[in-house]
Structure 1
Amino acid sequence: MTRKKTAQKPSRRLRGAANLEEARDFVAQRGIEELECFVANQAGVARGKVMPAEKFLGNPTMSLPGAIFYQTIAGDYPEDVLLQEMPADGDLVLRPDFSTLAAVPWAPDPTAQIILDAFHRDGRPLENAPRQVLKRVLEFYRRSGWEPIVAPEIEFYLVKRNTDPDYPLEPPIGRSGRAEIGRQAYSISAVNEFDDLFEDIYDYSEAQGLAIDALIHEEGAGQMEINLRHGHPLDLADQVFLFKRTIREAALQHDMYATFMAKPIARQPGSAMHIHTSVVNMQTGRNLFSNEDGSPSPEFFSFIAGLQTYLPAAMSMLAPYVNSYRRLTRNSTAPINLRWGYDNRTTGLRIPPSDPAARRVENRVPSSDANPYLAIAATLACGYLGIEGGLQPGEPVTGSAYNLDYDLPRGILEAVIELGECEPLIEVLGEHFVKTYSAVKRTEFETFMQVISPWEREYLLLNV
């Protein structure tokens, strides 16, 4: 894919401000008229307000009902838990994180966006807000003198517009006038079919200060992957949150949809959000996963063991919907267990080739529909518990792991039960969050059970 040449622009910060005064300068320099102010709820959906820039800058603290963090993907609420914990549905205090301030390049009028953090009215962080959950996990690392580094890879499908939920999704029409009919993994010509769309994605990303490392065509028809540069977990979670929004908006402007469903099309590969993780000693700057002689450290193996031990209990955060588990099936290019191996893509945990300074673990289990704050928080929490407990992993797999036994829950209810029974994970993630999140997932499952599927009509209607 060839990038268009653009004229050199004066150097200025594309994303973020240190404080309110710098935010005012950011807005003034760009003639910003409106600000989109939002948080990510349990599903990773942006909830918030659109405000005139002048009003926001005059009082950047705002309020929203606390119920937004109990809302399901379908817009329902777990009424019993909500009434028990928030009988009056009172307001939360939402404060902007000025480091996330960025333009909204697709908006028709000069518009900026900013991510908010949620707090109780007495100033305590809201325990069930996903961004605060990730901050909580990072605090455990900080107390140990460590800082995690992550690099997510996000897969998604481009599909034709589809306004009928009963109609199967289809690949979009590219510049050749034809849709893909077969799998085109790593095909440059298949990416070139959508050059104009990807030019917009790159341009929108640059305007927001978001750092794309690479864009490739994945195995499915119309399936793409974007890799992000490694960095601090909170910043990378913010970037994934904003990237999803950016890609969906760009696709709409080209008369197609971008979907992050884990398994949007039958008999096509599912979409993942692989998370590469290493840990740095904050005092020495050394990769905790490597000894001074370059060999793997005990912490490296314990991190792997932590993922093997605790990821089944964290599964509802990595595969949050009924559809997510359609991806995790045997011989589907997605993992079905938590075995590990060196440069082995059939295992749930892969160790990519690298020099000692870049030694890392790739968690291949999360699906692309996961909330990035929660998927990263879960990965780090499990690894932390492994290091703190001095756990030891099983032996690495050298062949295919696709035919080995399942290690992972097979459905969302099983995953929610495992989360509620895992005391070490609850301690790191927070009891209030686990209770709220589990209630949301159970309510979503009950909503799903109200729908009669085509399979049931096909095989049961006249046969039972």
Structure 2
Amino acid sequence: MNADWLEKAPQAARDYLAERRLDEVECIVADIAGVARGKAMPASKFMRQDKFYLPNSIFLQTITGEWAENPAGAFTEPDMILTPDYSTAAAAPWTADWTMQVIHDAHDQQGNPVPIAPRNVLKRIVKLYEEKGWKPVVAPEMEFFLVARNTDPNQPIIPPMGRTGRRAAAKQAYSMSAVDEYGKVIDDIYDFAESQGFEIDGILQEGGAGQVEINLAHGDPVALADEMFYFKRLIREAALRHDCFATFMAKPIEGEPGSAMHIHHSVVDRETGQNIFSDAEGRETEAFMHFIGGMQRHLPAAIALLAPYVNSYRRYVPDFAAPINLEWGRDNRTTGLRVPISGAEARRVENRLAGMDCNPYLGIAASLACGYLGLTEKKDPRAEYKGDAYMSQGELPYNLGDALDLMTASQAMRDILGDEFVDLFVAVKRNEYNEFLQVISPWEREHLLLNV
């Protein structure tokens, strides 16, 4: 029985339901793509049970709705036991009735965490840090596009119509008037976020037409991945209220920049609360350099988690504000690994390689995993890159197939993420990649049909 579950919920959830009758609870988990899967049930039923069941095959479903072959063997679809994490209870303020969402933890029937569940993968990495006496801290940035409704996939995506009656303009980075063009959507994003108890650190116009960036305050990796999981739905719902779409595709519009999920990382000593990237005099430590070194060595094998679709690699092109290298530099946005200006207590590393299309649990897990390997291997990075690193290329895979090959062959990724998860992730992504390769594009029809 969990009739008193709201007492365990965050204050924002309790405030949202103050003097109101809860109608429905959505019991959800994130699949490999970061899509919410689960069940909606009347609140009265939710109060009478403390778990429910879903088949573990939900993690074999591809983004197209197909099913990958189970690398573990027979496709028997055993049930997982899903238990609510009441700390994740959050309003769904766009619904017609009073609805709450609750993220659930996935365990097998023996009570073990399901190793292929993305949230559990991230928890696995955080636990490795904890066992060393460390506490990882992250601050994600979310970029996305607001676009005109697109109901015909054969038609290109175009910017939305702004309040002036004009299409949103490109090349207006940091423009307040550009944000005002779709201010009603932004207003609803703020309102929905407030109802859910989420703290937005800032909203700004990015370089693309209708491209927006939302910054989140730094904090616990799992809690922030939960927020990003919720935010994607929140933002989509806010856009739909105003006759446009919000898309988190890495590269939705030809000729425009892509959308990144930059991740800032620091690591704190659990006993002292001090940032291990700075010493007592405020200088950079060996641990700081080792963290960067680990990212340089291991990110190529983790890129499939940061860039999980064929479209993801369209973002990795020169001169479109996306780094295509593993160089590091202080306050250098052309490097894949940037050290922002900060005080010693906030010294951090920004991974600029992740796309906004990645599953936030897996993207943050992959990035932290590479840093952890660096901390434990204790190898220094290359020298700081002080020029235009956009010209530095060749270390990253530039298509999904090559990225999956690197991940499959990496013993370090298998050891830290788990063989079972790596095999399943690769199976799902191979299925998607092979399906894509069967599609004939407009470019091929235009240039090859009558010319070759």
* TM-score, normalised via structure 1 length: 0.94
Q: Is 1:119 matched up with 2:117?
A: no
Note the aligned Cα RMSD (angstroms): 1.7
Q: Is 1:97 matched up with 2:90?
A: no
Q: Is 1:66 matched up with 2:56?
A: yes
Give the residue type in structure 1 aligned to 2:325: N
SS where residue 47 of structure 2 aligns?
Answer: helix
Mapping for residues 185-200 of structure 1, pairs under 5 Å: 185-200=173-188
Give the residue type in structure 2 aligned to 1:452: I
- Give CA deviations for 1:70-106 in whole Å, capped at 9, x if unaligned: 111011111253xx53532121111111100011111
Q: CA deviation at 1:18?
A: 2.9
8 Å CA contact retained: 2:6, 2:14: no
Q: Is 1:35 matched up with 2:51?
A: no
8 Å CA contact retained: 1:24, 1:57: no
* Alpha-carbon distance between aligned partners in 2 of 1:292 and 1:316, rounded to the nearest angstrom: 38
8 Å CA contact retained: 1:16, 1:102: no
Q: Is 1:157 matched up with 2:137?
A: no
2:378 aligned partner: 390
Structure 1, 412-421 or 140-149: larger mean CA deviation: 412-421
1:207 aligned partner: 195
* Alpha-carbon distance between aligned partners in 2 of 1:26 and 1:121, rounded to the nearest angstrom: 35
Mapping for residues 107-186 of structure 1, pairs under 5 Å: 107-186=95-174
- Give CA deviations for 1:212-234 in whole Å, capped at 9, x if unaligned: 00000000011000000100000
User: Between Structure 1 and Structure 2, how many residues are aligned?
Assistant: 447
Q: CA deviation at 1:159?
A: 0.4
1:314 aligned partner: 302
8 Å CA contact retained: 2:69, 2:427: no
SS where residue 402 of structure 1 aligns?
Answer: helix
Structure 1, 180-189 or 84-93: larger mean CA deviation: 84-93
Which blocks of at least 5 consecutive residues in structure 1 are unaligned?
1-14
- Alignment equivalent of 2:391, drawn from 383, 399, 403: 403
Mapping for residues 77-88 of structure 1, pairs under 5 Å: 77-81=67-71, 84-88=72-76
Q: Is 1:358 matched up with 2:338?
A: no
CA gap 1:28/1:201 in 2 versus in 1, 3 angstroms: closer
* Alpha-carbon distance between aligned partners in 2 of 1:160 and 1:28, rounded to the nearest angstrom: 37
Q: Is 1:18 matched up with 2:18?
A: no
Give the residue type in structure 2 aligned to 1:56: F
Q: CA deviation at 1:34?
A: 0.1
Q: Is 1:295 matched up with 2:283?
A: yes
8 Å CA contact retained: 1:16, 1:100: no
* Alpha-carbon distance between aligned partners in 2 of 1:304 and 1:105, rounded to the nearest angstrom: 41
CA gap 1:17/1:184 in 2 versus in 1, 3 angstroms: farther
Q: CA deviation at 1:180?
A: 2.5
Q: CA deviation at 1:182?
A: 3.3
Q: CA deviation at 1:31?
A: 1.4
Structure 1, 178-187 or 218-227: larger mean CA deviation: 178-187
Structure 1, 71-80 or 142-151: larger mean CA deviation: 71-80
8 Å CA contact retained: 2:16, 2:195: no
CA gap 1:304/1:404 in 2 versus in 1, 3 angstroms: same
SS where residue 273 of structure 1 aligns?
Answer: coil
1:463 aligned partner: 451
Q: Is 1:233 matched up with 2:225?
A: no
1:8 aligned partner: none
Which blocks of at least 5 consecutive residues in structure 2 are unaligned?
none
CA gap 1:326/1:55 in 2 versus in 1, 3 angstroms: same
* Alpha-carbon distance between aligned partners in 1 of 2:19 and 2:198, rounded to the nearest angstrom: 19
8 Å CA contact retained: 2:264, 2:349: yes
* Alpha-carbon distance between aligned partners in 2 of 1:305 and 1:283, rounded to the nearest angstrom: 25
- Give CA deviations for 1:256-297 in whole Å, capped at 9, x if unaligned: 000000000001000000000000000000001001110001
8 Å CA contact retained: 2:13, 2:196: no
Percent of aligned pairs with the same amino acid: 53
Give the residue type in structure 1 aligned to 2:178: A
- Alignment equivalent of 2:45, drawn from 25, 33, 55: 55
* Alpha-carbon distance between aligned partners in 2 of 1:369 and 1:157, rounded to the nearest angstrom: 12
Mapping for residues 194-343 of structure 1, pairs under 5 Å: 194-343=182-331
2:356 aligned partner: 368
8 Å CA contact retained: 1:17, 1:101: no
8 Å CA contact retained: 1:183, 1:221: yes
Give the residue type in structure 1 aligned to 2:195: A
CA gap 1:236/1:23 in 2 versus in 1, 3 angstroms: closer
Q: Is 1:347 matched up with 2:341?
A: no
1:446 aligned partner: 434
SS where residue 58 of structure 1 aligns?
Answer: coil
SS where residue 51 of structure 1 aligns?
Answer: strand
Q: CA deviation at 1:27?
A: 6.0
Give the residue type in structure 2 aligned to 1:460: L
* TM-score, normalised via structure 2 length: 0.96
CA gap 1:100/1:157 in 2 versus in 1, 3 angstroms: same
2:34 aligned partner: 44
* Alpha-carbon distance between aligned partners in 2 of 1:365 and 1:90, rounded to the nearest angstrom: 36
8 Å CA contact retained: 1:27, 1:53: no
Give the residue type in structure 2 aligned to 1:285: G
Q: CA deviation at 1:17?
A: 5.4
SS where residue 325 of structure 1 aligns?
Answer: helix
CA gap 1:356/1:36 in 2 versus in 1, 3 angstroms: same
